[in-house]
């Protein structure tokens, strides 16, 4: 467990990951299994993004490692870099560690202030609003989409097209 939250292993729906031996091992280790929905290749964009970042690191080893210890060291270094140094575009260019420790609020407020000051000093360079440096408090893998109520004109046009 990490921060009183169980570890979660997300995987595809392959038979090795759904097998009884694997599931029993996960349960014994206190790990919660999580799987993609059937026939949905991008069910977990966060994991997919992580794997792409991993594969595009300059020192990625596409041909494998010489030993288990070498691979463990590489992964440990990658995870440390990913969580503490890598600035994520989806997090307004802050690290996950900065987000989890609450440092992101001060960092993003300071960025907003810098942009506001720059715009006030040189408004000719800023035809519109400054960049929005805010982050959503909650994100969901598969958010429930709210139905938007159609305007009267949209309803009339829809009935005309299908009528």
Query: What is the pTM assigned to this prediction?
Result: 0.61
Per run of 10 residues, the mean pLDDT along the chain (length 163 residues) is 73 79 90 79 72 88 90 93 92 94 95 95 91 83 66 61 55
Domain boundaries, the chain: 1-43, 44-86, 102-145
Q: 95, 88 in Cβ contact below 8 A?
A: yes
Rounded Cα distance between 141 and 42, Å, is 10
Under DSSP, the state recorded for 99 is H
């Amino acid at each position: 467990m990490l921060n009183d939250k169980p570890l979660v292993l997300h995987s595809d729906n392959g038979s090795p990951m759904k097998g009884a031996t694997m599931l029993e091992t996960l349960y014994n280790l206190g790990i919660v299994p999580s799987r993609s929905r059937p026939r949905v290749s991008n069910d977990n964009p966060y994991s997919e993004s992580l794997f792409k970042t991993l594969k595009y690191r300059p020192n990625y080893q596409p041909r494998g490692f010489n030993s288990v210890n070498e691979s463990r060291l590489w992964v440990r270094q990658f995870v440390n870099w990913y969580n503490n140094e890598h600035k994520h575009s989806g997090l307004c260019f802050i690290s996950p560690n900065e987000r989890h420790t609450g440092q992101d609020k001060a960092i993003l407020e300071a960025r907003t202030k810098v942009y506001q000051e720059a715009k006030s000093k040189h408004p000719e360079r800023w035809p519109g609003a400054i960049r929005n440096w805010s982050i959503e408090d909650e994100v969901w893998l598969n958010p429930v989409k709210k139905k938007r109520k159609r305007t009267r004109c949209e309803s009339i046009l829809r009935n005309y097209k299908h009528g």
